[in-house]
Structure 1
């Protein structure tokens, strides 16, 4: 197996930074649309062969150093009882938002049987990978999943979620505790099925104040990580806002902290306890730019990180759907040509 990614995640020396990209199996690839135009998004997630087809696209077309399971952070919320749908151009919606104690009480926590399709997909993907590169599993962090359940959809200001947290913290905590329990069991299901690493996505943590992040996000991520069967499985913690929250994130003892593009990556690395690797942190908008700009910006980051063990190249967040495929492929070529 190409172990570059796993070595860097465990802060071992590597000959170059390993590369994978968030949303690497996505809408910027024509091949993705060939599949997407035939099936709904949830059908793709829930059909192991289709999930494997999409997972393998960046492996076959880009030559990345790690694959990531094709799924969605909201499958846990759906399994718990959320009426989930995805609409083109709108995104995810829950027809039954969670707003009251009764709504929270109605959510189920013994839901692993409903998520068995994810374990099945992992087994198919690992057969296809044939031990060539590691496979990353993932889940949404409790605060982010809660925000979708409470808002009923994506939100710009998270007003309903924050009102629940501030006016009825006991309801918010009961909801978060349920999501955290499901999330830990779900990630352990993925580990048992054969993933080689896991990432926790707290996509909307940046909406939170420092104190609210600690109370309504961090403590639940800490609980999840403490309950993982993580022997030989690196755990990556990502949030939008990691440039601010990294010192708190480190307290949960992940192996890797994935950093957004608002920070100097070396400064973050040097501020963390020894043995915690960093992942990131190219601004994905750079991939719209001309190729010489892409190359210059990547090499600047690599020179900044030269001599640092525990560095995985990634974007500060996911690839946007209209980034030219050719630019992504070029960026990966630049990375793979680099040597420390």
Structure 2
């Protein structure tokens, strides 16, 4: 793994070209994914190690990316804690027993390693298949994002119930976030022990928060999680939607990499981060809908901006959308891999 461009860049070294992987790279834009998905439910796919490995390997085999990411979901921690989780086509994730009272919070479990053992089993299968070719990234949802699903009972446009808990009952919110943080740190360490080569923390809904609320109800728990990780030789990537705003604070949690959304100039934000913190990003995923000359131009424009900057991993500012043409994604990765500084 010492020759991995991804790991070199994650530890803030200059690489001959930017390494590339893409959030949601094993997803619904691939026909091969649907061949598997049409046979199993989403949770069956996550919980069956061989199937999770099959899906994880799709972008490795079909796209030739520089890092694989474990096929799973950020809400498996919420389920392991006692959430009644289901996924419905066109609706998304649902918790049938939302967490809204003190009793609900008290009932959540924190000793859940046995309930997440299937993830460790999947990691071992995937690493056998990768056979040292490229690194495997593990991941978890950040406490605020997982909390929002537990409290709302599913996806939300305005996070009204979550914010009401933060503002009217902050002590309850902190108890809930503290429990999720404990589980998340243990879960990431379980993945590290099972053999992942890097981990990423996804705070997908941080952008819903003001600066003060992000600091109090998200950042402090990410600090706690990262401080507990057995991270020797394992880079830690911190991502949130809103990283163009929160990046300086995110860096204070001491991740190795801050993953940046597409709303900011990447070089500008990198220069505002401490030395030794790498950046990942930050192409607007909508560009992958565009014509191939546009895709190439935008990638090259970003690379010229980041020329000779150590610690740069190419990624999207968020995940691939399901209806982006597969050929465009493959072409984007070819453009990256052909580039040389």
Coarse TM-score class (shorter-chain normalised) = over 0.9
Q: Deviations over 1:158-205 (max 9, x none)?
A: 000000100000000000000000000000000000000000000000
* Number of equivalent positions: 340
1:13, CA displacement in angstroms?
1.6
Taking the TM superposition and a 5 Å limit, the aligned residue runs for 1:9-28 are 9-28=10-29
| 1:159 maps to 2:160 | yes
* Paired residue secondary structure (2:183): helix
Alpha-carbon distance, 1:235 to partner: 0.1
For structure 2, the 5+ residue unaligned runs are none
Task: Name the residue aligned to 2:131.
Answer: 130
Q: CA deviation at 1:17?
A: 0.1
Instruction: Please say if 1:214 is aligned against 2:215.
Output: yes
- Equivalent-residue separation in structure 2 for 1:247 and 1:131 (angstroms): 34
Distance 2:17 2:308 in 1: 10
Give, in angstroms, the shift of residue 261 of structure 1: 0.2
TM superposition score normalised by structure 2: 0.99
Separation in 2 of the partners of 1:89 and 1:124? 31
Q: Is 1:244 the equivalent of 2:265?
A: no
The aligned residue for residue 330 of structure 1 is 331
Provide the C-alpha distance between the structure 1 equivalents of 2:179 and 2:247, rounded to a whole number of angstroms. 25
Cα deviations by residue, 1:282-321 (Å, 9 ceiling, x for unpaired)? 0000000000000000000000000100000000000000
2-side partners of 1:196 and 1:33: how far apart?
27
Distance 2:62 2:120 in 1: 24
RMSD across aligned positions (CA): 0.4
1:88 — aligned with what?
A: 89
Residue 175 of structure 2 corresponds to residue 177 of structure 1: no
SS for the counterpart of 1:278 is: strand
Write the distance in 2 (CA, Å) between the matches of 1:268 and 1:229.
28
Q: Deviations over 1:31-79 (max 9, x none)?
A: 0000000000000000000000000000000000000000000000000
> Which residue is 1:72 aligned to?
73
> How far apart are the structure 2 equivalents of 1:162 and 1:311?
35
| 1:96-139 per-position Cα deviation (integer Å, ceiling 9, x unaligned) | 00001100000000000000000000000000000000000000
| Shift of residue 12, structure 1, vs aligned partner | 1.0
Residues of 1 paired with 2:37 and 2:14: CA distance? Answer: 39
Counterparts of 2:28 and 2:14, CA distance in 1: 33
CA distance in 2, matches of 1:250, 1:11: 14
